[in-house]
């Protein structure tokens, strides 16, 4: 594949001058509205996962009553979406490399739309499972492509905020799911749970239509040799033509450097040699894989998704027996969770990834330990004192708040920005596949394990997991704030431990 020479691009930009107060290399001081709009559209796909997590926490209670399913079937129903999303996340890397990022976003929305319709119309448990499988594949596509597309189109100085938007929309989706549970719970079954699940088709169709006005990723265009189109997109997503040309030169340099790799670049762009490099990595790629897979593993090993899915049961165990009250508490929980992810997104580019991540996991460890203490006390207490119930509710909200500050948004940001351009799509899909596997395992075993060791015991296990996660992040995740995607690769090539 032949690329325009970076030196020629440098000559072309000699007559350009950066805007006052802007950084021509890393982006200006403010947000580019065009980039913001494109990032929002790409991230809106994440509403689909969030809505499913939130709404299923309530819908599954009515499904269990209506279809007479067992607790094991309930766990399978809840967790299978996460395991099936593994298929979508693995396939998304190949699809996005060959057909483009925009096409993959449309495919994600269309697949989830079909799954939502099937779930809403399901006459039986097997039919409902088919809908969950299809929806799960769509979720897998969306989780991989949204952060990658946003990272590739964003200037370095605002990439943290923009790449954390998928987590913002996941939390908005969770809140919408909780509101749907509360609003539709008064309807008779099976109408209530069918509407709860079927309404997810509406945002899916809206996202698919919105992609029409989105630009293609400039880095994907460079990989395909479509440099003129890439420059056109970069001009729209930069504060000046000088900044656009500087970013283009970095992308061209990265693309040309890949020509010297053992596997030919023409194969890499079609994804044919990428897996060879990922499965037999160099030392720098190994460090990237450890960081990306590690952050995705601990995100789901924290049990956050499972606690959201089973929050009504958790609150019932804490002494809140009225179903309407359970849904009301989950709405409060969703508001807190959504508010804090906005806080993280706004400060991510200022304070950096590491400080917020370490703060979040430390806070989660403490919150889960307090939740475990409260649950253990209530387990051995017959009168269920209000202060103990309040402790559990506050501890759950605190756990979700710290998750929204750290692991929630930073997992998507980090795993989408640290892979080099030639490996980004399929490397991210590999990391997110681990995310989906762990999420599915935790969701499908959460109730069973809790029945054996109690909810309190489960929360103590999760608290210990977050302690281990905090140590891992301190040792293996370097800071990437303010660096271009091309510069980040150099961080992992530096063996100096001070860079970590």
| Residue 286 banded pLDDT, cuts 50, 70, 90 | very high
Q: What is the pLDDT of residues 160-180, one digit of tens each?
A: 888 888 888 888 888 888 888
Q: Of 405, 435, 392, which is closest to residue 305 (Cα–Cα)? A: 435
Q: What is the dihedral of CA 168, 99, 434, 397, to 10 degrees?
A: 10
d(CA 468, CA 463) in angstroms, rounded, equals 9
Q: Which residues pair with 480 in a beta bridge?
A: none
Alpha helices (H) along 352-423: 353-379, 386-405, 407-417
Q: What is the pLDDT of residues 85-113, one digit of tens each?
A: 888 888 888 898 888 998 998 898 899 99
d(CA 137, CA 132) in angstroms, rounded, equals 9
Neighbours of 6 (CB within 10 A): 17
Mean pLDDT confidence for 115-140:
92
Q: Does residue 4 sit within a domain?
A: no
Q: Does residue 16 sit within a domain?
A: no
Q: What is the pLDDT of residues 419-477, one digit of tens each?
A: 988 888 888 989 999 998 998 899 889 988 998 999 999 999 999 999 999 999 999 99
User: What pLDDT is recorded for position 494?
Assistant: 57
Average pLDDT, the chain: 83
């979508």: which residue's tokens?
A: 88
Q: Does residue 108 sit within a domain?
A: yes
> 23 φ, ψ to 5°?
-105, 105
Q: Of 200, 1, 241, which is closest to residue 109 (Cα–Cα)? A: 200
| Residue 7 banded pLDDT, cuts 50, 70, 90 | very low
| Residue 30 banded pLDDT, cuts 50, 70, 90 | low
Mean pLDDT confidence for 269-279:
67
Q: What is the pLDDT of residues 356-411, one digit of tens each?
A: 999 999 999 999 999 999 999 888 887 778 888 889 889 999 999 999 999 999 99
Q: What is the pLDDT of residues 225-235, one digit of tens each?
A: 899 999 999 99
User: Checking phi first, is residue 320 left (phi over 0); if not, alpha (psi -120 to 50) or beta?
Assistant: beta
Mean pLDDT confidence for 25-30:
47
Domain hosting residue 167, numbered range: 24-499
How big is the chain by its Cα radius of gyration, in Å? 23
User: What pLDDT is recorded for position 325?
Assistant: 80
User: What pLDDT is recorded for position 8?
Assistant: 41
Q: Does residue 40 sit within a domain?
A: yes
d(CA 350, CA 316) in angstroms, rounded, equals 40
Neighbours of 161 (CB within 10 A): 23
> 466 φ, ψ to 5°?
-70, -30
Answer yes or no: is pLDDT of 208 > 80. Answer: no
d(CA 360, CA 477) in angstroms, rounded, equals 14
User: What pLDDT is recorded for position 299?
Assistant: 95
d(CA 459, CA 311) in angstroms, rounded, equals 13
Output the six-digit token pair for 482: 């303010």
Q: How far apart are the first and last CA of the chain?
A: 35
Q: What is the pLDDT of residues 414-430, one digit of tens each?
A: 988 899 888 888 889 89
In the chain, pLDDT over 70 holds for what percent of residues? 89
Q: Which residues pair with 23 in a beta bridge?
A: 27
Q: Does residue 13 sit within a domain?
A: no
User: What pLDDT is recorded for position 243?
Assistant: 86
User: What pLDDT is recorded for position 179?
Assistant: 87
Q: Does residue 215 sit within a domain?
A: yes
Q: Does residue 279 sit within a domain?
A: yes
What's the per-residue H, E or C state across 285-328?
A: HHHHHHHHHHHHHHHHHCCHHHHHHCHHHHHHHCCCCCHHHHHH
| Residue 497 banded pLDDT, cuts 50, 70, 90 | very low
Report the residue count for the chain: 500
Mean pLDDT confidence for 119-125:
91
- Burial (Cβ within 10 Å: 0-12, 13-18, ≥19) of residue 462: buried
Q: Does residue 7 sit within a domain?
A: no
Answer yes or no: is pLDDT of 263 > 50. Answer: no
In contact, 57 and 177? CB cutoff 8 Å? yes
Structure-model confidence comparison of residues 207 and 5, the more confident one:
207
User: What pLDDT is recorded for position 12?
Assistant: 38
d(CA 469, CA 301) in angstroms, rounded, equals 9
In contact, 108 and 142? CB cutoff 8 Å? yes
Range of 50-54, 334-338, 350-354 with top mean pLDDT? 350-354
Q: Based on the structure, what is the number of domains in the chain?
A: 1
Mean pLDDT confidence for 313-338:
81
**Torsional sign, CA 346, 349, 355, 358:** positive
In contact, 48 and 132? CB cutoff 8 Å? no
For position 86, which CATH number holds? 1.20.1250.20
In contact, 340 and 397? CB cutoff 8 Å? no
| Residue 22 banded pLDDT, cuts 50, 70, 90 | very low
- For 180, the 3-state DSSP assignment is helix
- For 189, the 3-state DSSP assignment is coil
Mean pLDDT confidence for 44-63:
85
């Amino acid at each position: 594949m032949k690329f325009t020479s970076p030196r020629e691009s440098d000559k072309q930009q000699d007559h350009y001058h950066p805007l006052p107060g802007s950084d021509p290399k890393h982006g200006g001081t403010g947000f580019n509205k065009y980039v913001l709009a494109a990032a929002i559209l790409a991230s809106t796909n994440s509403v689909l996962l969030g809505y499913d997590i939130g709404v299923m926490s309530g819908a599954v209670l009515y499904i269990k009553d209506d279809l007479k399913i067992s607790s094991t079937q309930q766990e399978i129903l809840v967790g299978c979406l996460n395991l099936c999303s593994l298929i979508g996340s693995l396939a998304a890397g190949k699809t996005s490399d060959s057909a483009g990022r925009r096409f993959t976003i449309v495919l994600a929305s269309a697949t989830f739309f079909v799954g939502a319709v099937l779930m809403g119309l399901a006459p039986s448990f097997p039919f409902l499972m088919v809908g969950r499988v299809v929806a799960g594949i769509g979720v897998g596509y969306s989780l991989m492509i949204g952060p990658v597309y946003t990272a590739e189109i964003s200037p370095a100085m605002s990439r943290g905020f923009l790449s954390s938007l998928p987590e913002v929309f996941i939390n908005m989706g969770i809140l919408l799911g909780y509101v749907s549970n509360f609003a539709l719970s008064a309807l008779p079954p099976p109408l209530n749970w069918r509407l709860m699940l079927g309404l997810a088709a509406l945002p899916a169709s809206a996202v698919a239509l919105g992609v029409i006005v989105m630009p293609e990723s400039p880095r994907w265009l460079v990989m395909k040799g479509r440099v003129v189109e890439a420059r056109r997109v970069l001009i729209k997503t930069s504060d000046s033509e000088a900044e656009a040309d500087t970013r283009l030169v970095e992308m061209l340099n990265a693309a040309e450097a890949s020509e010297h790799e053992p596997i030919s670049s023409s194969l890499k762009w079609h994804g044919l040699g990428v897996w060879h490099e990922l499965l037999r990595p160099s030392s720098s790629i190994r460090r990237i894989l450890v960081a990306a897979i590690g952050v995705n593993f601990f995100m789901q090993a924290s049990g956050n998704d499972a606690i959201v899915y089973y929050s009504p049961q958790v609150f019932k165990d804490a002494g809140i027996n009225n179903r309407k009250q359970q849904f009301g508490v989950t709405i409060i929980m969703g508001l807190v969770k959504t508010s804090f992810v906005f806080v993280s997104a706004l400060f991510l580019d200022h304070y950096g990834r590491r400080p917020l991540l370490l703060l979040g996991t430390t806070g989660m460890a403490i919150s889960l330990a307090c939740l475990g203490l409260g649950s253990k006390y209530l387990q051995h207490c017959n009168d269920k004192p209000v202060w103990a119930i309040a402790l559990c509710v506050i501890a759950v909200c605190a756990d979700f708040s710290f998750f929204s500050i750290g692991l929630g948004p930073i997992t998507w940001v980090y795993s989408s920005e640290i892979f080099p351009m030639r490996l980004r799509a399929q490397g991210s899909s590999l990391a997110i596949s681990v995310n989906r596997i762990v999420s599915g395992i935790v969701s499908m075993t959460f109730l069973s394990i809790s029945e054996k060791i109690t909810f309190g015991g489960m929360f103590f296990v999760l608290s210990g997991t977050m302690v281990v996660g905090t140590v891992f992040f301190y040792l293996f995740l370097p800071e990437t704030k303010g660096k271009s995607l091309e510069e980040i690769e150099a961080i992992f090539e530096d063996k100096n431990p001070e860079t970590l």
